[in-house]
Chain A
Amino acid sequence: MNTLPFVRKEFVEAPGIVGAEWWNESVQAPVSRRHLLVGSIIATSVLGATVYVLTRPDPTTFDAKPSLDMQRQFGWDFGATDQSFPEGATGQPFDATLLATLADQLRPSEARHRPYYVPTLFQAPSAIPRGLVGDGSDPGKNLRDVLRPVMTPAMRTAFGTGRGIGSLFADLNRDTLVIVDLPGPESIAFAAGASQSFDPTFLFDNWPHPYGVVKAHQTLAAALTLATEFQNASKTRRGDAPGLLVLDRDRLAPYSESPSQFDNRYVAKLPDAASLRSMGYAHVICVVPQDGDPEADDLNDDFVAYQAANLSTRLLGASAFARDNSVAPRPVDATKRDYDDGGTYAYGGSVHTNPWFWHHYALARAIAPARPAPLFRSPSIGIAPRMSLFSGAGAQVAAGSRIRPPAFATTPVVVDKTDGRILGSKWTRSGSWMRSSGSGSG
């Protein structure tokens, strides 16, 4: 018998790493029957031959479940109950009493827009998990306790830009639908600025997660910060305001399956062309970050369909609006409205180039205004069909359904094979729910 059965199989000694791997030659042969019985106990009873065996069946398997379903069932921080968001507060405290009623507070004012309102994100703070994972000893944190106010320079600019486009549409007819598709917090700020003229309809269809690739907690915090602005605007806004669909451009953020990423992505659910027509819309403008940016992949099919139905569909770079510093700033109480810098934001960066918006977008007036033109040309990026992971390739898709790549917005879980019970996230590093199981009779 080899008294030195452990042999060093690999060895490295370098400044970056020092390590070795050893191999036990004495257990490399097929395990003898004696070793198999080490883990078994055989007993007999006076009533006959019975067997009490400590068995190790494999009780679990892996599966991929919709991420949002797992969060709704087990908590927003499913699989990461000991983690929180790394960012600290960057804005003024928000009204915590809004957390419980946020979804109702931010509902569209116009009844025709309400069927397209997606309140999922705003429901997260008040949701109660329906079940417990594992042994239920750790129910996770309350989302309300870890949300932090957010306010950034980009949000202030977006708010000003929203005001700018809102002022352009203040006195016009209501046949233009605007879609804003910026990073979540900036879309929220843009919508708040534009809410003087538009009826915001939010389409955020996910929940925050500590490892979420979509930073939905920042979008949620922005909504809480600006909720009062939305409420006040709804009281003073003209009736029959045109719609402003609010999207998070980061909803399709890159994702790869790993312990440090949670797939909380989603696709946008826009009204179809017939619905837009029935609501009285003839034009669609989608606000993207920069002039020249295309629409997001999950919007291409919708926009191509809009054009096919003779709904003019154009892209507008938010960067086409800039603050006109020749206009004196409005007085703003910064202690209450730190998102409003008091500036006047105009198309082309000047109130004198503002009217060129109508010429470039041919919405109201086609005559070139007798004013200085913006330094940039008329936007030329049009809508064309393109292939992506979200393309339907012309296939008929049921209303409300969207093409998604395989395994999109799912999370790997451990499932008990005997009863289908979900034991936890695959990435929860423990053996606590993979215990040996025993059975016996006697």
Chain B
Amino acid sequence: MDKSIFAMELCFRLVANSPLGGSLRHAITTHPERTSADQRSQFYRFVTDLLLQHLHLAERGCWDYFDDPSRAQGDFDGWSEMLSTQEGLRTGPSPQDPYRPSNRYLTFTMSMLLVHGTPTDRALAGVCDIREADLWRRSTFARILHGVRSMSFASVVSDVAYLVPGDASWGFTPEDLAQPKFQYLRPLMDG
């Protein structure tokens, strides 16, 4: 069975009283252990609605779509292994200088492995058909999120979603995100 892969990661600036982190956490932790394809679709409708509502707070991100069966599984494994390795995560709360407060950030990542060539896969391929100059535009991320929002999960082989951090006090600092390991998250361009 040939597969395609889609992935998106967004980095949001944390603001006081924002429901973003708490709502994403609630959605992940309360989703049943065994569900239907419709319930998976509902989950992602809820998640993408949240992300779209807060897209103005997203400062960095990346997304992938590859219909290359030779790399799809490997790439998906790369995204999903974060759950087990937790590599690169903060190991404690991020310190805050009371005299020089700075921003804190969270990231949300989702990735899907799709059956190659299905209508869902082809529809997603069309949504992700973006010219190079627009790859990191906020409007491009919005377009793709709308595409994911209307996906049918009947032909999704596997999917993974995770929120980093789970506790807002562990949010990434600007210094964390300046490290080379986060360079793949590129600044979003307005427009």
Contact = CB atoms under 8 A, between A and B. Distances in A.
Contact of A58 (B36, B64, B68, B160): B68
Nearest to A8: B33
B15 interface: no
A193 B162 CA distance: 56
A36 B121 CA distance: 13
B97 to A, nearest CB: 21
Contacts of B40: 6, 22
Nearest to A432: B130
B66 A434 contact: yes
Contact of A39 (B32, B82, B93, B117): B117
B35 A17 contact: no
Nearest to B33: A8
Interface in A202-219: 211
B83 A260 contact: no
Given A16-B170, A82-B186, A38 B91 contact: no
Contact of A18 (B35, B39, B131, B166): B166
A17 B1 contact: no
A20 B31 contact: yes
Contacts of B29: 13, 18
A254 B114 CA distance: 37
A41 to B, nearest CB: 12
A181 B14 CA distance: 46
Contacts of A31: 1, 115
A52 B170 CA distance: 55
B131 A7 contact: no
Interface residues of A, number: 58
Contact of A17 (B37, B119, B153, B166): B166
B34 interface: yes
B36 A27 contact: no
Given A4-B34, A4-B36, A434-B67, A17 B163 contact: yes
A428 B35 CA distance: 35
Interface string B127-141: 011111101100000
A20 B28 contact: yes
A185 B158 CA distance: 51
B80 A21 contact: yes
Nearest to A81: B132
A58 B2 CA distance: 11
Interface stretch (A130-138, A221-229, A361-369): A130-138
A409 to B, nearest CB: 19
A38 B22 CA distance: 40
A183 interface: no
A319 interface: no
A145 interface: no
Contact of A429 (B31, B62, B109, B122): B62
A85 to B, nearest CB: 14
Given A24-B158, A431-B66, A436 B122 contact: yes
A32 B151 CA distance: 22
Contacts of A135: 131-132
Contacts of B32: 8
A73 B32 CA distance: 53
Interface string B45-70: 00000000000000000111111111
A378 interface: no
A232 interface: no
Contacts of A434: 65-68
Contacts of A35: 115, 118, 155
A40 B189 CA distance: 38
B33 A5 contact: no
Contacts of A377: none
B186 A6 contact: no
B67 A21 contact: no
Nearest to B40: A6
A429 B66 CA distance: 9
B25 interface: yes
B145 interface: no
User: Which among A133, A259, A436 has the highest number of chain B CB atoms within 10 Å?
Assistant: A436
B163 A19 contact: yes
Given A12-B83, A261-B180, A431-B64, A18 B31 contact: no
Interface in A321-367: none
Contacts of B157: 23-24, 27-28
Interface string A302-328: 000000000000000000000000000
Interface in A18-72: 18-24, 26-28, 30-31, 35-36, 38-40, 54, 56, 58, 60
Interface string B68-102: 11100000000010111010011101000000000
B183 to A, nearest CB: 3
Contacts of B2: 56
Given A8-B33, A82-B136, A20 B83 contact: yes
A27 B83 contact: no
Contact of B162 (A8, A15, A17, A23): A17
B7 to A, nearest CB: 9
A3 interface: yes
A40 B122 CA distance: 12
B162 A432 contact: no
A369 B122 CA distance: 83
Given A424-B132, A430-B135, 18 more contacts: A6-B36, A6-B40, A10-B80, A15-B93, A16-B164, A17-B166, A19-B28, A24-B156, A26-B154, A27-B156, A30-B1, A258-B184, A429-B64, A430-B132, A431-B130, A432-B132, A434-B66, A434-B68
8 contacts: A6-B37, A8-B32, A16-B166, A18-B29, A19-B162, A258-B180, A429-B184, A430-B135
Shortest 9 CB-CB contacts between residues of A and residues of B: A19-B162, A260-B183, A39-B117, A431-B65, A18-B166, A15-B167, A138-B133, A21-B160, A16-B89
